[in-house]
Amino acid sequence: MTTKNLVLVSGANGHLGNNLVRLLIRKGFQVRASVRNINRSDSLKGLNCEVVQADIEDKAAFKNALQGVETFYAVGAAFKLWAKDPQKEIYEVNMQGTRNTIEAAAEAGVKKIVYVSSIAALNYSYTPTKESNGYSPDRRDAYYNSKNDGEKLAFKLAEELNIELVSVMPGAMIGAEAALPLNVSYDILKLILNKQIPVDTGIALNWVDVKDVAEGCYLAAMKGKSGERYILANEKCMRITDTTKIAQKLYPELNLRIPMSVPKFALYGIAGLMQLSAKLKGKPPIITTKDIAMFSGLQQDFDISKARTELGFNPKSSEQAVTEALAYLMEHKILL
């Protein structure tokens, strides 16, 4: 039997999960927050929520965590673009996690799932990109593949198990409450402030404030139509170089330099060296040759009219999101 106003947020110690938990508490919900490792829940300390341990690879744990829950915000996932074994560490984790959590939700009697997908699950062949464009035909990246295939699986399972499911697709989330390790998107701002992006990669990101995405998740639960997908991003993307210009203007004392332009073949060479160094050190490279191939020059511009109209989603501009996120990092020096 579900309890009115009891919600579960998975991945609650992550960037979006943590901000979503805080939002739902403010809105008067009874919040249960699940984390993969209970010893890594410092970001939830002091919050009026119940913290439970549940790994998306453990269906039984999720079935227990979802008892009495009315709405399940499925945020938890492996969010990384690099791994020693991408198929196993990213793709299989996210696919199995999707199956486990949705099956567990159906068995526990959950009424509605807000499934957090990604703009990675979109076809960028036509811009501005919209939900109806379908899924990405590019199969070069394990994380992107997991978001495309994971969302398809989520809708399929929801239909088979007769459970309401709405998908939301966030852009590059930055800002607000954050803790180490920073997510992939936020870490780029950290790299900018630490002068670790020497060349213009030609990569653009669709920056969006994480608080706006959290609000979008809540609106999807309240107003979203089952079986539908909604983009939670901004209309226009911003090149990393233009993001650096904002930081340069705001913090002249840092003496930031605008990344220099180099030919694409040189970018591949630099990325190749970074990959080799990363392999030797066992750490993720700042950039890979695959990143250059997939994202250099890619325009991540979106038509968000569906989310605006049907949900009431109204994000602050990318410029404002970047300005506030940079200020947060500068204020919380421990994150730098």
Listed by start position, the domains of the chain span: 6-179+208-234+301-316
The count of other CB atoms within 10 Å of the CB of residue 241 is 19
What is the biggest distance separating any 2 CA atoms in the chain, rounded to whole angstroms? 61
What stretch of H or E contains 113? strand 112-116
* Paired tokens of 121: 């699950």
Per-residue model confidence (pLDDT) at position 1: 61
Residues with Cβ within 8 Å of 295's Cβ and at least 6 positions away in sequence, in order, are 201, 203, 204
Q: Write down the residue that tokens 């927050």 correspond to.
A: 33
**pTM to 2 decimal places:** 0.95
Question: Along the 336 residues of the chain, how does pLDDT read in single tens digits?
Answer: 666 789 999 999 999 999 999 999 999 999 999 999 998 889 999 999 999 999 999 999 999 999 999 999 999 998 887 888 899 999 999 999 999 999 999 999 999 999 999 999 999 988 899 999 999 999 999 999 999 999 999 999 999 999 999 999 999 999 999 998 899 899 999 999 999 998 999 999 999 999 999 999 999 999 999 999 999 999 999 999 999 999 999 999 999 999 999 999 999 999 999 888 888 888 888 889 999 999 999 999 999 999 999 999 999 999 999 999 999 999 999 888
Element housing 72 (H / E): strand 71-74
**Cβ neighbours of residue 169 closer than 8 Å, sequence gap 6 or more:** 117, 118, 119, 121, 122, 131, 229, 230, 231, 232, 233
As a whole number of angstroms, the distance between CA 60 and CA 64 comes to 6
| Rounded alpha-carbon distances, angstroms, from residue 46 to 42, 97, 175, 260 | 9, 28, 20, 45
Alpha carbons 241 and 199: distance in angstroms, whole number:
9
Q: Rounded to the nearest 10 degrees, what angle do helices 318-331 and 240-250 cross at?
A: 60
Contacts of 57 (CB under 8 A, 6+ apart): 93, 96, 97, 100
- 6-179+208-234+301-316: what CATH class? alpha beta
What whole-number distance in Å separates Cα of residue 34 and Cα of residue 20?
Answer: 12
* pLDDT reported for residue 3: 66
| pLDDT one-digit tens code per residue, 287-328 | 899 999 999 999 999 999 999 999 999 999 999 999 999 999
